[in-house]
Amino acid sequence: MDSGQPNLVLGIETTCDETAAAVVERRADGSGKILSNIVRSQTEEHARFGGVVPEIAARAHVDVLDGIIAQAMAEAGVGFAELAAVAAAAGPGLIGGVIVGLTTAKAIAMVHDTPLIAVNHLEAHALTPRLTCALAFPYCLFLASGGHTQIVAVVGVGDYVRLGTTVDDAMGEAFDKVAKMLGLPYPGGPQVERMASGGDPARFAFPRPMLGRADANFSLSGLKTAVRNEISRLSPLQPNDVSDLCAGFQAAVLESTADRLSVGLKLFREKFGAPRALVAAGGVAANQAIRAALQDVAAIAETTLIIPPPALCTDNGAMIAWAGAERLALGLTDTMDAAPRARWLLDANATAPKKFANTRAGF
Ligand code: KG4
Ligand code: ZN
C-alpha cells in the first residue's frame, strides 16, 4: 500500500532468454528510480540452434539466477529485509524459465516474510514509460519482440485493452526466420536491418500484409513465405540478392506496421480520446527504419513517440520490479499459490486469434 515511504522492490525476469534481476525504488509521488539492473543474455547458448531452445533456457536460468539476484541486491546496496516486495514475471513465456523465476521469488518472499507480486511480463513492458518518463495514462503501446506483437491501450494499472495483435508470427520472430532462411546468424533482426541498408527495397514486390483492414491486427507468415519462395527461385543467392531480399522484407514490414498502427491509434481515439503518447517497446523497436516509420505515424496521429532506452525496451528486471511497485502501491499482492503461466493475455477480455498454434505469438 502507499505508505508515503519509498518502496524498494526486487524484480526477477526469466520468461525467455534473458536472466535478469533489478532493484527499483518507487516514491510516494509515483516517480521511480532504478538502483540496479542486471541482465545476462543467453544469446550465445542458443545461437548455434538458430533460436531459443526452451530446455537450454530453463537450465541456464537455474545456473545463474541466484548470482544475478545477489549482484542486483549488492549493486543497489539493499538487504532483503529492506524490500517492500519481491516481484517475478509469472508469464507469459517459456514455462521452464517462468517456473525458475517465480519459484525463486516465492522462496525469497517466504524466507524474508515479504509480499510476493506475480507480474505479467507484457504489463511490465506496458508500464515501463511510467518509470522512465512518468508518462500519464492513457497511452498507446506498440510492443514488438521475438514473442509478442501487440497494440495495447494502457488505460491504468491492470487496465489494458488490446487493440491489435498478430494472427501468426511475432514481428521479431519473422525477422529471425527470414535471417535464418538467408543464412544470417541469430538473432536475425539486427542482421536483416544491416543487410537491408545496402539493398534495393523495390526489387521484389512482396505483399503488404493486412493493408487497409479495419482491425489493427498483424500477419507476417504470408510475407515470410513470399521471401522463402523468392529464395528458392533465386538460389544460389548472390550477396546483392541477400541485401535486396532483406530490404524488400523490411520495407513490407514497415508499410504494414505503419498502416496497422494508424488503425490502432484511430481505434484508441474512438475509445479513449487522444493518447498521451505512442510508446514502442520490444527488441524490434531497436530497428532504426521502424523507429523512423513510427515517428511518422505518431506525427500524423498528432501524438508523441516515446521509445524507452534500448536496455529497458528489451527484457530486463527493472520493468518487472517497476510493475510490481505499481501494483504494490494499489495493494495488489499475490499469494504463494500464484501459478506460472505459459500464456497470459494482458487484456482479460481479449480472445486469442485463430492461427496461434505452433507460434510464439500467443504469449
Ligand atoms: O524484446 P527482445 O529482446 O526479446 C524478446 O523476444 O522478448 O526482442 C528480441 C527480438 C528478436 O526477434 C530480434 O531479432 C528482434 O527483437 N530485433 C530486431 C532488431 N533488434 C532486435 N528486429 C528488427 N530489427 C532490429 N534491429
Ligand atoms: Zn519481452
Q: What's the pLDDT score for residue 114?
A: 98
Using 50, 70 and 90 to split pLDDT, how confident is the model at 363? very low
Per-residue pLDDT tens for 65-90? 999 999 999 999 999 999 999 999 99
- Of 39, 41, 253, 284, the residue with max ligand 1 atoms within 8 A of its CB, to mutate for a pocket test, comes to 284
Establish whether residue 129 lines the binding site of ligand 1, counting it when its CB lies within 6 angstroms of any ligand atom.
no
- Count of other CB atoms within 10 angstroms of residue 108: 19
- Report every protein residue that has its C-beta within 5 angstroms of ion ligand 2: 145, 315
pLDDT average, residue stretch 262-281 = 98
Question: 353 pLDDT exceeds 50?
Answer: yes
Atom of ligand 1 nearest to the CA of 281: 1
Ligand 1 contacts CB of residue 92 (under 6 A): no
pLDDT the model gives residue 132: 96
Q: Which amino acid is at 61?
A: H
Q: How far is the CA of 299 from the centre of ligand 1 (A)?
A: 24
Single-letter residue type at 184: L
Question: Does residue 1 or residue 225 have the better pLDDT?
Answer: 225
pLDDT tops 90 at residue 50:
no
Q: Does the pLDDT at position 354 exceed 70?
A: no
pLDDT at 355 over 60: no
Measured by CA distance, the residue closest to atom 19 of ligand 1 is: 189
Q: Among the atoms of ligand 1, which is closest to the Cα of residue 147?
A: 6
Return the ligand 1 atom nearest residue 171 CA: 12
Residue 22 in contact with residue 11, Cβ under 8 Å?
Answer: yes
> What is the reported pLDDT for 340?
98
User: What pLDDT does 352 receive?
Assistant: 67
- What's the 188 CA to ligand 1 centre distance in angstroms? 8
Residue keyed to cell 540478392: 241
Phi and psi at residue 312, to the nearest 5°: -105, -5
Q: Decide whether any atom of ligand 1 lies within 6 Å of the 308 Cβ.
A: no
Question: How is residue 265 written as a grid cell?
Answer: 491509434
CA separation for the pair 97, 142 (Å, rounded)? 25
pLDDT grade, residue 49 (50/70/90)? confident
* pTM to 2 decimal places: 0.92
At residue 165 the predicted structure's pLDDT band, cuts being 50, 70 and 90, is: very high
For ligand 1, is residue 15 a contact (CB within 6 Å)? no
Ligand nearest to the CA of 122: 2
Confidence bin at 142 (pLDDT 50/70/90): very high
Helix orientation angle between 239-272 and 171-181, rounded to the nearest 10 degrees = 170
Q: What is the pLDDT of residue 80?
A: 98
At position 79, the amino acid (one-letter code) is: G
The residue to mutate among 18, 128, 175, 312, having the most atoms of ligand 1 within 8 angstroms of its beta carbon, is 175
Going by pLDDT thresholds of 50, 70 and 90, the confidence category of residue 359 is: very low
SS3 223: helix
Summarised one tens digit per residue, pLDDT across range 246-265 is 999 999 999 999 999 999 99
Mean of all residue pLDDT scores within the chain: 94
Whether the Cβ atoms of residue 152 and residue 140 lie closer than 8 Å to each other = yes
Ligand 1 in reach of 287 Cβ (< 6 A): yes
Rounded distance from Cα 207 to ligand 1 centre (Å): 22
State yes or no: pLDDT of 38 exceeds 90. Answer: yes
The set of residues, in sequence order, having a beta carbon less than 8 Å from that of 182 and lying 6+ positions away, is 192, 195, 231, 237, 242, 245, 246
Ligand 1 pocket residue status of 172, Cβ below 6 Å: yes
188 Cα nearest atom in ligand 1: 14
Q: Is the CB of 149 under 6 A from ligand 1?
A: no
Q: For ligand 1, what atom is nearest to the CA of residue 16? A: 7
Q: What is the pLDDT of residues 204-244, one digit of tens each?
A: 999 999 999 999 999 999 999 999 999 999 999 999 999 99
Instruction: Render pLDDT for 314-332 as a digit per residue (tens, 0 to 9).
Output: 999 999 999 999 999 999 9
